[in-house]
A and B are shown apart, each in its own frame.
Chain A
Amino acid sequence: MATESSQHEGHPEVGHVVPVRILLVTGMGLLALTLLTVWAASFDVGNLNIWIALGIAVVKGTLVVMFFMHLRYDRPFHGIVFVTSLAFVALFISFALTDTTEYAGNLDPGDAPKVVEKLNVLGE
């Protein structure tokens, strides 16, 4: 398979070398975002908290995947594989969550039988 033509100047025969400067900037960005998410969690904004935290996590994850894992410079198909796996997780979550939420109202409230048993033994 002829591959030489696709290479850029100064790059090795295979792969893509990410310069140390970019790695450092990515790392600093990740640390800053970690501080940001801890700081953001100190405000109680109800249900929004989790979405803010998840949003920041998604940004951090994207940074890791794009630069640390070289996906930005890699074959698009590797990205497709990765995104597909995320899509299947999303599919799994959404169907399972829709279903369990539907029947959650029918479940017995309160502690489960074995928990009650434990608590009774404890004398509570």
Chain B
Amino acid sequence: MTTIDTTKPTPGAETPPVDNYLTHSSGIMSWLGTLDHKRIGVMYLVSILTAFFLGGMFAMLVRLELMFPGEQILSQDQYNMAFTLHGVIMVFLVIIPSVPASLGNFVLPIMLGAKDVAFPRLNLFSYYLWVTGAVLAVSTVFFGGVDTGWTLYVPYSTTGTEMNGILLLTFAVFVLGFSSIFTGINFIVTIHRLRPPGMTWFRMPLFLWAIYATGILQVMATPVIGITVALLAVERLFGIGIFDPALGGDPVLFQHFFWFYSHPAVYIMILPGMGIISELISVHSHKHIFGYKFIAFSSVAIAIFSFIVWGHHMFLSGQSPLMNVVFSAITFSVAIPSAVKVFNWLATLYKGSISFNTPMLYALSFLVLFTISGLTGLHLGTLATDIHLHDTYFVVAHFHYTMMGGALIAMIGGIHHWWPKITGRMYSEFLGRTACGLIFVGFNLTFFTQFMLGSKGMPRRYHDYDGPNWTPEATELFGTYHFWSSIGSFVMAAGFFLIAFYLLHSLFRGKKAPANPWGGRSLEWQCASPPPHDNFSEPPHVGDPYDFTVLEWDEQEQGYHWRHDLKHEPGEA
């Protein structure tokens, strides 16, 4: 373990070690069997981005189908399968593991000043569980598919479907749940037990607080989805009837089970994103984060609140009026810690020296998109307006603003922020900013139109909006919105392909990255880019992670380094 030695003020930037985690050992087996958290993080990143591509393809199919009235490219069953798989892949394979498992795995131990996560073998095991779950989930296509939507609601999932992939999917979700649980356990233990001397709780970067709060959710909520899908599987295998109304079961109870996990899961998705944003905003405006403790504790508060609002998904599913009122009231209270974060980020930006680097552009996009998602969430949390908006495109737009505009935009921002650290290469800033612009415009075009669609009454999950059941006016109106929504999705796709292009290009042709290209103060910027196998060749300076006054720009190195006139860290004993 690294011990903090204050007599050596030079961070690892000056003499880059020859050996790094990428060159430490070679061969395919040195990757597949690795216990190094950095390599596992990279494997997660590659796998998750692959799944993201696949999920995105299903989304494009859905958007193409809906672009014009009438059946376009998918039959009704194929359409149901496409949106189900889009949801399953994006939720279970991409967004839930996205930030913690990939970036978190890579960055967390380094930020902490540790050599690895607490249980490296468990970490690798959890990656292979993810792979198993991913293969199972995607292979449902070959076993008849699944058409229930990612929520697997009973009785769709217990009766009357032509598609038999559900059993396989329940197994996949179970396995993926355990992958998530093990990641959560690993990170909580790492943060508790592997902080080196000097790294106190309040010297941890806010990203770690977010990961910690996420860990609590992963550990406390995920087992419930495990038992839910296990019961569903038994129901399908043996007709047990705990959820199936035809056998005396209670389908509303299924929704209680499902959302007891899946609402906290929303915060498993967004909290790490918020953690990334705290880093990006502070580092790229070169200003100390405003209200550190408020942001830190609001993460924990959100984690706890998220457990007592699940019923707001069930206002119109037969939940009792009493619980509707209770859940609606508690739902509004989640706005408080979320707004605490947003205001603190804004206050951090205020009078900061903002560099509009690509990661910062994503952070600013996040602020806009997440605010829209939060405010439209209030419409849905209000009982009366929810009756109108429930199961319309308004809901679809709302959660895409949260999941994609929030979690995924933050993740992409994080990838750009840590890309130099992970790969040791710089990408093209110009292309980076262009892609961010494309994604921001495309995203809003895609999903803001869906707010309109929803408030005009277009239901979600419909294959078509033409025919005898629709008035010509409705078909025309919805057609216009759907058309522009699809155009937006193409713009967004172009942005993602551009990102894929310049990031891959940077691997081969990119400039060598300095140890600290952005001027970050947390520990990962004190080791070389890419980091050595044991993370630090020199003991890092532990201190206030947002005190940027100790750094200065080095023109020759094109990066920041420790100020030469400082012998040691101001706050350090």
Say which one of B16-24, B163-171, B246-254, B420-428 lies at the interface with A: B246-254
Q: A77, A88, A96, A103: which contacts B307 (Cβ < 8 A)? A: A88
Q: Which of chain B's residues have a CB closer than 8 A to the CB of A92?
A: 224, 256, 260
Q: Which of chain B's residues have a CB closer than 8 A to the CB of A91?
A: 307-308
- Cβ of A112 and Cβ of B247 under 8 Å apart? yes
Show 26 A/B contacts (Cβ-Cβ < 8 Å), sorted by A.
Answer: A77-B192, A84-B220, A88-B220, A88-B307, A91-B307, A92-B224, A92-B260, A95-B323, A96-B253, A96-B260, A99-B256, A99-B323, A100-B250, A102-B320, A102-B321, A102-B323, A103-B252, A103-B318, A112-B241, A112-B245, A112-B246, A112-B248, A113-B246, A114-B246, A114-B247, A115-B248
- Cβ of A99 and Cβ of B319 under 8 Å apart? yes
Quote the shortest CB–CB distance from A87 to chain B (angstroms): 9
Q: Which of chain B's residues have a CB closer than 8 A to the CB of A7?
A: none
Is A85 located at the chain interface by the 8 A CB criterion? yes
Q: For chain B, what secondary structure do more than half of its interface residues adopt (helix, strand, loop), or is it mixed?
A: helix
Is A62 located at the chain interface by the 8 A CB criterion? no
- Cβ of A95 and Cβ of B320 under 8 Å apart? no
Quote the shortest CB–CB distance from B271 to chain A (angstroms): 17
Q: Which of chain B's residues have a CB closer than 8 A to the CB of A102?
A: 320-323
Interchain residue pairs A-B with the least CB separation, the first 3: A102-B320, A112-B248, A99-B323
Binding site for B on A (CB under 8 A): 1, 77, 84-85, 88, 91-92, 95-96, 98-100, 102-103, 111-115
In the complex, which residue of chain A has the Cβ closest to the Cβ of B245?
A112
Q: Which of chain B's residues have a CB closer than 8 A to the CB of A100?
A: 250, 252-253
Is B197 located at the chain interface by the 8 A CB criterion? yes
Quote the shortest CB–CB distance from B531 to chain A (angstroms): 23
A113 to B321, CA, bound (A): 27
A95 to B322, CA, bound (A): 11
- Cβ of A98 and Cβ of B323 under 8 Å apart? yes
A111 to B241, CA, bound (A): 12
Binding site for A on B (CB under 8 A): 192, 197, 220, 224, 241, 245-250, 252-253, 256, 260, 307-308, 311, 318-323, 326
Number of A-B contacts (CB under 8 A): 53
- Cβ of B220 and Cβ of A103 under 8 Å apart? no
Looking at B241, B247, B318, B320, which has the most chain A CB atoms within 10 Å of its CB? B320
Supply 5 further A-B pairs (C-beta < 8 A) apart from A91-B307, A99-B252, A100-B252: A92-B224, A95-B323, A102-B321, A103-B320, A112-B247
A61 to B260, CA, bound (A): 26
Q: B247, B248, B253, B322: which contacts A98 (Cβ < 8 A)? A: B322
A114 to B249, CA, bound (A): 11
A100 to B256, CA, bound (A): 10
- Cβ of A95 and Cβ of B308 under 8 Å apart? yes
In the complex, which residue of chain A has the Cβ closest to the Cβ of B223?
A85
A3 to B326, CA, bound (A): 48
Quote the shortest CB–CB distance from A2 to chain B (angstroms): 9
A100 to B311, CA, bound (A): 12
Contacts A84-B220, A91-B308, A92-B224: A111 and B320 contacting too (C-beta < 8 A)?
Answer: no
A107 to B296, CA, bound (A): 45
- Cβ of B311 and Cβ of A99 under 8 Å apart? yes
In the complex, which residue of chain B has the Cβ closest to the Cβ of A88?
B220
Q: Which of chain A's residues have a CB closer than 8 A to the CB of B307?
A: 88, 91
In the complex, which residue of chain A has the Cβ closest to the Cβ of B250?
A100
Looking at B245, B248, B318, which has the most chain A CB atoms within 10 Å of its CB? B248
A88 to B248, CA, bound (A): 27
In the complex, which residue of chain A has the Cβ closest to the Cβ of B321?
A102
A77 to B245, CA, bound (A): 42
